[in-house]
Structure 1
Amino acid sequence: MIQRIQSIWLFLAAIALILMLFLPLISKENTTTETEIHTIGLYQDVVGKPGSGQMKEQFTPLLITNIVVAVLCFVNIFNFKRRSMQKRIAIFSIIAIIGFAFWCSIFAQKLPGGIDGAHFDFGAYLPAVAILFCILAIFGINKDERLIRSAERLR
């Protein structure tokens, strides 16, 4: 049962959430500085000087939440014997990812000068991708349940 498709979808959801640790969510460039928000913290670079990035503020609660939600999706892979529990945890993961994305948007407002003129980077879209993967995992779990019910009818 661990080879089922929902395991792959849950693994991809966990990977998408782990990628959020390394990719910027939102960035803004002024004439002298470029500011990026990651789930780890607020980084500021001097324009024209590569490698001059400094962490101005650390977002520890956001970092911990990101890791917990990613681990939740990954650990849910191993609930393959209890499909109803796996489905409930996947639904809870979707709710947790929505809350995490909302919380990321609140932290994005800490960008100096506000979010006016800022652009969203690839990391901002990863929660939506993770939610999509969790929904596809739920569809896979439902398909497994239908398959098992039909096999029990044949007995």
Structure 2
Amino acid sequence: MIQRIQSIWLFLATVVLILMLFLPIATKTVDGSESILYTYGLHRFMHVQSGSALNAEVFLPPLIVNIILILLCFVNIFNFKRRTLQKRLVILTILIIIGFAFLCSFYTKELPGGIEGASFGMGAYMPALAILFLILAVFGINKDERLIRSAERLR
């Protein structure tokens, strides 16, 4: 039963959230120095050409929330026998991802000079992609429930 379609969608959501750890959310260049915002912190480079790092700030709250989301999606793959619990956890995960996106947008204000003029990277779009995969997982869970109910009616 682990080959259910919702397991694939949950796995893809897990992969997307893992990728969010490594992909930049936003990048901004001001006066020859480049700042790159990741989920785990902000990296500032003094000179764009030489690549020498000025400093790095660590943002613990978004990192912790991202790791919790990864674990929640991964553990939920193995709840295929308890579909109602699986569906509730998926909906909870979607709500946490929405809050996580707002948390990340809050931390984009840490860029020097604010958000204006910043270019958004692939990491900024990953929460939306994870939500899409989780919604598809809910559809798969509902399809499984309908299949089980119809099989019980036949008995």
In 1, Cα distance between equivalents of 2:131 and 2:9: 10
Q: Cα distance, 1:107 vs. partner?
A: 0.5
Q: Does residue 79 of structure 1 match 2:79? A: yes
Residue segments in structure 1 that go unaligned for 5+ positions in a row: none
Letter in 2 for 1:47: V
Match of 2:61 in 1: 61
Match of 2:149 in 1: 149
The answer to whether the Cα contact below 8 Å between 2:11 and 2:77 also exists between their aligned partners in 1 is: yes
- TM-score, normalised to structure 1, is 0.96
Q: Does residue 10 of structure 1 match 2:7? A: no
Deviations 1:68-115 (A, max 9, x none): 011101110010000000000000000000000100000010111111
In 1, Cα distance between equivalents of 2:55 and 2:19: 19
The answer to whether the Cα contact below 8 Å between 1:34 and 1:47 also exists between their aligned partners in 2 is: yes
Residue segments in structure 2 that go unaligned for 5+ positions in a row: none
In 1, Cα distance between equivalents of 2:61 and 2:55: 16
Q: Which residues in structure 2 correspond to 1:27-46 (within 5 Å)? A: 27-45=27-45, 46=47
Q: Cα distance, 1:55 vs. partner?
A: 4.3
Query: What is the identity percentage for the equivalent residue pairs of Structure 1 and Structure 2?
Result: 63
Q: What is the SS of the residue equivalent to 2:77? A: helix
In 1, Cα distance between equivalents of 2:54 and 2:87: 42
Q: Does residue 49 of structure 1 match 2:50? A: yes
Letter in 2 for 1:24: P
Aligned residue-pair number: 154
What is the aligned-residue RMSD (CA, Å)?
Answer: 1.0
Change (3 A) 1:54 1:9: farther
Runs of 4+ in 1 over 4 A off after TM superposition: none
